[in-house]
Amino acid sequence: MSRRDYDYLFKMVLIGDSGVGKSCILLRFADDTFSESYISTIGVDFRFKTLSVDGKIVKLQIWDTAGQERFRTITSAYYRGADGVMMVFDKTARESFNHITDWHEEINKYSENSSRVLVGNKYDMTEHIQVDEETGKQLAEKLGMHYIETSAMNSYQVTTAFELIARELIQKKGNQQERGKKLNPVKTRKPMSAPCCQN
């Protein structure tokens, strides 16, 4: 059996309204491509991408809703086991930003322990911006997550967004392992067989 070529494997899901650029972000990150005429398909699409974060090799399995959000047919299976969630809105469409709290509630229902990042996409479309950076930051702070702005078109901060959530997941994993050591300090010891205390 060959040694695995990564230190961590995390499942990530992309959520947000239809048309905000989730698939474009995934394509930019996974394949370094961009297409304005990307046609969403019904179902679930996912890609693997490996990256290096603080000297650790992280393999991400990134799931995209592939159009289901238009019909509100996203199932709990999509969220199940998700370590990280990227909540995406379109900076040029205020309505998609207003729906973030709905998406947040849905995540709390199905994957409450996941790490999250709020992503304001289409940063490059400066003339059409309806949600400024400060407004995005305020909502992210209120919901207890990081905020970052991206452009899938010119790749601005797309990789950084994934690194941000991967770093948080590594830290969380490390904290869980530390807690485990403290809670079970003698877990691997074999019980003593001497009958010293059997009276």
Which residues sit opposite 62 in a β-bridge?
12, 47
CATH topology of domain 8-183: Rossmann fold (3.40.50)
pLDDT, residue 32, reads 86
Per-residue pLDDT of 141-152, as tens digits, reads 999 999 999 999
Q: Where are the domains of the chain?
A: 8-183
Per-residue pLDDT of 14-54, as tens digits, reads 999 989 999 999 999 998 888 776 555 555 678 999 999 99
Measured CA to CA, the distance from residue 177 to residue 174 in angstroms comes to: 5
| pTM for the whole structure | 0.83
Measured CA to CA, the distance from residue 121 to residue 110 in angstroms comes to: 24
Q: Give CA angle at 86 (164, 167), nearest 5°.
A: 20
Q: In terms of pLDDT, which residue wins out, 98 or 64? A: 98
Assess contact for 25 and 121: CB atoms under 8 A: yes
Identify each DSSP E strand in the chain by its residue range: 8-15, 45-53, 56-64, 84-90, 115-121, 146-149
The mean pLDDT value for 173-180 works out to 71
The mean pLDDT value for 175-181 works out to 66
pLDDT, residue 199, reads 47
**Coil, strand or helix: which one is 130?**
coil
Question: C-alpha dihedral over 72, 73, 76, 82, to 10 degrees?
Answer: -70
pLDDT band at 173 (very low <50, low <70, confident <90, very high): confident
| Token output for 110 | 């199905």
Q: In terms of pLDDT, which residue wins out, 77 or 155? A: 155
pLDDT band at 174 (very low <50, low <70, confident <90, very high): confident
Measured CA to CA, the distance from residue 177 to residue 67 in angstroms comes to: 37
